[in-house]
Chains A and B, each alone.
Chain A
Amino acid sequence: MATPLIEMKDMCIAFGGVQAVDHVSVDLFPGEVVGLLGHNGAGKSTLIKMLSGAYKADAGEIRIDGKEVHIHSPRDARAQNIETIYQTLALADNLDAASNLFLGRELTSPLGFVDDDAMEAETRKIMGRLNPNFSKFHAPVKALSGGQRQSVAIARAVYFNARILIMDEPTAALGVQETKMVAELIQELKKQGLGIFLISHDIHDVFQLCDRIAVMKNGQLVGTARTSDVTDDDVLGMIILGKCPPGAVPGPGAFVEDVPVG
């Protein structure tokens, strides 16, 4: 079997005595979309924030291409080509699209000044590819629609050659047409060999977009499964009851019935 792009092993983090993530292990291969599912508060976002550098893990190991890496800040994550698109759309509302796209990595002129024109030119190029209808290059992003804002956030991830993309509810705030656009984009990125973690509540989305799913409950991993091996109801059972169906690989959080699993 090929080396996974990412392996997260026995990840743990606690906040004030609450074990938010408890010995969770997941992996991700190039060109694969893995859906992370679970109730609100199941620990999905927390798990992913340890990968994106927003939180520091208490214990556990992250390997990229089989090599252990240490991620202590968003900067570390970016250095590993991990890009994150957050649920809350981490954009500065008062700045325009180009400033947001390059936030933290501004293009500068030889004298060290921020080169707005060059950044705008690059932004126009990439937006022309991702969302050709986008035209408000000088408006602050607060004046943009949900879909336009999302395309700025996605453009940010794509522009910097992400290898690993984390999407936290990328379609939660979008309309039908915009959701379709994001879905097409995910397919496109997959073809380019990116690995994508997708956090979602929408079972339909998950079956359409993901190759595998990993379900969490109360901070523990219920199990992982290929989407082709399980049904909607199986997945709902995993999310709600923590019950691992026959087609799935059970994790430490699987609810064990009288009949032994397997």
Chain B
Amino acid sequence: MSETALAGQKSPTARSIFSALQLDTRFLGMIGAFIVLCLVFNVFTDGRFLTPRNIFNLTIQTVSVAIMATGMVFVIVTRHIDLSVGSVLATIAAVMAVVQTDILPAILGLGHPAIWILAILAGIVVGVLIGAFQGWMIGYLGIPAFIVTLGGLLVWRNVAWFITSGQTIGPLDDTFNMIGGIGGTMGETGSWIFGILAVVAALWLQLASRRRKASHGFPVKPVWAETTMAVITTIAILGFVWVLNAYDIPEARLKRIFEASGETLPEGLTMGYGIPYSVVLLIVVAIIMTMVARRTRLGRYIFATGGNPDAAELSGINTRLLTVKVFAIMGGLAALAAAVAAARLGFSTNDIGTLDELRVIAAAVIGGTALAGGVGTIYGAILGALIMQSLQSGMAMVGVDAPLQNIVVGTVLVLAVLVDIIYRKRTGD
């Protein structure tokens, strides 16, 4: 206790700056840790870690786990757990693969433009149904989530096996594959437009929130704090676009693209990849999930139930149905993640999503979701997924032995939670 007080006296100015900005200090700490991690890897890889190419690869490798991690936040906040997401992902990937290579071509004809979206929709329906079924067993039959989803881990992995008879299914639909990452990007111009629209939207939201607060007569942040936030947001968004645009499409590939449309590649022309569609999908998911968490009754009830299930029940909240909804959302997100994962490979394989449940849970927990329930953020979980992926691929680039990689990842997970516990104790949060 006394140490906290001392620390507070040492840096009163820093503290008041943070409180004026009203930033989540825990999240800032995570960003700090992430930056240190990146810089360390950058030194050990002789500058190869922080190249546009590697950053591009990191983002597309993170998407599948990050999408599921946003759903895992809701699951863990309501004091449950979902161990089945990796297996559910495999079942959905198998369904989507069979639908687009077998069922739809027989009905619509091979290469029909609606195949990709119908396949994804079929996957989402299956995912929501699987999730709702597991949620029903947890909420209405009272079987602990750990058991239901541990069973699900075994069941769905092997349902996937039955659907595909254990075979790798592919190649998948060309349009479908664009959701996987490098096969589908917005290009430089598209990415800049997207970035500028994002900046405009972010600034408008900030302004609207300030106006709303002022109209109720609540205290608002000082103008310099708002301006600082606006500048940081703008730099972050446009910087992200700039980095992804800076990764040039290899010349040979560019040549093929031009030849395919009957043109020749002009001398010296280069084109950047820009933002992958999978990253756009993740951003959309993150925004929607954040809106659900903060601005809907469903989100409010999820957090209330996690904080005090009895209070939620006594307030007239149907906590059983809520459990079904939470797991149905998790299933739907597993379907989106399955689309990204399968499209990235271009195939649906038997082992797709193996161990993803652990990566997803680790991402949510590193991102500040408390297993005791009631606490967690969507953006935290996404950053958690990014940290996990950076750690993994950074170590691979440095050339750390495979067994040592997993030892480090496991240790980091436990340490991250320990640091979090200490942090929460000190801030009394």
Q: Which residues on A are within 8 Å of B, measured CB to CB?
A: 52, 54, 73-75, 78, 84, 86, 88, 90-95, 99-100, 103-106, 108, 112-114, 117-118, 120-121, 143
Contacts and interface: CB of A to CB of B under 8 A. Distances in A.
A105 B304 CA distance: 13
A105 B317 CA distance: 10
A143 B315 CA distance: 21
A117 B306 CA distance: 23
Contacts of B314: 52, 54, 74, 84, 86, 90
Given A90-B308, A92-B312, A106 B300 contact: yes
A117 B310 contact: no
A73 B58 CA distance: 50
Contact of A114 (B218, B297, B310, B313): B297
B311 interface: yes
B296 A113 contact: yes
Contacts of B268: none
A93 B300 contact: no
Contact of B308 (A74, A93, A143): A93
A120 B218 contact: yes
Contact of B212 (A54, A94, A112, A117): A117
Contacts of A74: 313-316
Contacts, number: 79
Contacts of B217: 121
11 contacts: A74-B314, A92-B305, A92-B307, A93-B307, A94-B374, A94-B375, A103-B300, A108-B297, A114-B295, A114-B299, A121-B216
Contacts of A86: 314
Contacts of B301: 104
Contacts of A90: 308, 310-311, 314-315
A61 to B, nearest CB: 23
B176 interface: no
A78 B311 contact: no
A92 B308 contact: yes
Interface in B192-247: 212-213, 216-218
B304 A95 contact: yes
B303 interface: yes
Interface residues of B, number: 30
Nearest to B310: A90
Interface of B: 212-213, 216-218, 291, 294-297, 299-301, 303-308, 310-317, 374-375, 428
A9 to B, nearest CB: 25
Residue among A92, A95, A105, A143 having the largest count of chain B Cβ atoms under 10 Å: A92
Contacts of B218: 117, 120-121
Contacts of B216: 117-118, 120-121
B171 to A, nearest CB: 43
A165 B87 CA distance: 50
B307 A113 contact: no
Give the most central of B212, B213, B310, B314: most A CB within 10 Å: B314
Given A74-B313, A103-B312, 14 more contacts: A78-B316, A90-B315, A92-B303, A92-B305, A92-B311, A92-B374, A94-B303, A94-B304, A94-B374, A95-B303, A106-B297, A112-B296, A114-B299, A121-B216
B300 A99 contact: yes
A104 B317 contact: yes
A99 B304 CA distance: 9
A92 to B, nearest CB: 4
B374 A93 contact: yes
B287 to A, nearest CB: 13
A105 B310 CA distance: 16
Nearest to B299: A114
**Cβ-closest 9 pairs across A and B:** A94-B307, A92-B307, A104-B315, A94-B374, A90-B311, A75-B316, A92-B304, A113-B295, A103-B315
Contacts of B299: 114
Contacts of A112: 296
Contacts of A106: 297, 300
Nearest to B212: A117
A85 B263 CA distance: 76
B242 to A, nearest CB: 33
Contacts of B307: 92-95
A106 B302 CA distance: 14
B429 to A, nearest CB: 8
B311 to A, nearest CB: 4
B405 to A, nearest CB: 35
Contacts of A114: 294-297, 299-300
A88 B301 CA distance: 19
A120 B218 CA distance: 9
Contacts of A143: 428
B23 to A, nearest CB: 14
Contacts of A75: 316
A113 B297 CA distance: 7
A89 to B, nearest CB: 8
Contacts of B308: 90-94
Contacts of B305: 92
Given A54-B314, A73-B316, A121-B216, A94 B297 contact: no
A75 B315 CA distance: 8
Nearest to A141: B307
A27 B53 CA distance: 76
Listed residue (B303, B304, B306, B312) with the most chain A CB atoms within 10 angstroms of its CB: B304
